[in-house]
Amino acid sequence: MAKIEIVLGDITKSQVDAIVNAANTSLLGGGGVDGAIHRAAGPALLAACRPLNGCATGEAKLTPGFRLPAKYVVHTPGPIWRGGQHHERTLLANSYRNSLTLAAAHGCQTVAFPSISTGVYHFPLELAAEIALRTLQETAATTAKSVQLIQIVCFDDQTKKAYEIALAALSA
């Protein structure tokens, strides 16, 4: 059963087999963590993304990590929060489930996630944290049994606190 850790940091520095990118459906880069990952990986990442022809919300596609310490990047567009009546919860769960499953299928034993959709996409943080952790725990026990360590890499204290509270509630 995978260990789930909540850490504060910059995911572009994560020394893991795969990092997950909170992308958009074009897969052609953007701001936030997407921009940071592309800057750190170098231009070869965009070149590898172009032929992928984008990615639907909640789906996941894998590329090499290039200049990143991580061997792979798993790109997943999370949902934009539109008030909660547009299947946002399911789509966010799909992003976590499909990303972890895809990483496991490529032999990754350690995987780092950012807090998908809680930045530019305005998904409520506490709700996102609960969905993320519940989905990761379920997936680690079913379609990603080979994954040993899952890290949620939080970029600020508020995000880290929300995920720590959600993790504690999961284990309670």
Catalytic amino acids?
A: 34
Which residues partner with 19 through β-bridges?
A: 73, 112
Question: In the chain, which residue ranges form alpha helices assigned H by DSSP?
Answer: 32-41, 43-49, 88-105, 125-140, 157-171
Question: Which range of residues in 56-64, 98-106, 139-147, 151-159 is near ligand APR by CB under 6 A?
Answer: 151-159
Taken in order 167, 170, 112, 61, is the CA torsion positive or negative? Answer: negative
Least distance from ligand APR to the Cβ atom of residue 84, Å = 16
Q: Does 34 bind ligand APR (CB under 6 A)?
A: yes
Residues in contact with ligand APR, counted by CB under 6 A, come to a total of: 26
Please report whether residue 48 would count as binding ligand APR according to CB under 6 A.
no
Choose among 130, 128, 115, 114: nearest CA to 165: 130
Q: How far is the CB of 171 from ligand APR (least distance, A)?
A: 23
Task: Name the token pair of 108.
Answer: 């990754």
Chain positions contacting ligand APR, by CB under 6 A: 10-12, 22-24, 30-36, 78, 114-121, 153, 155-156, 159
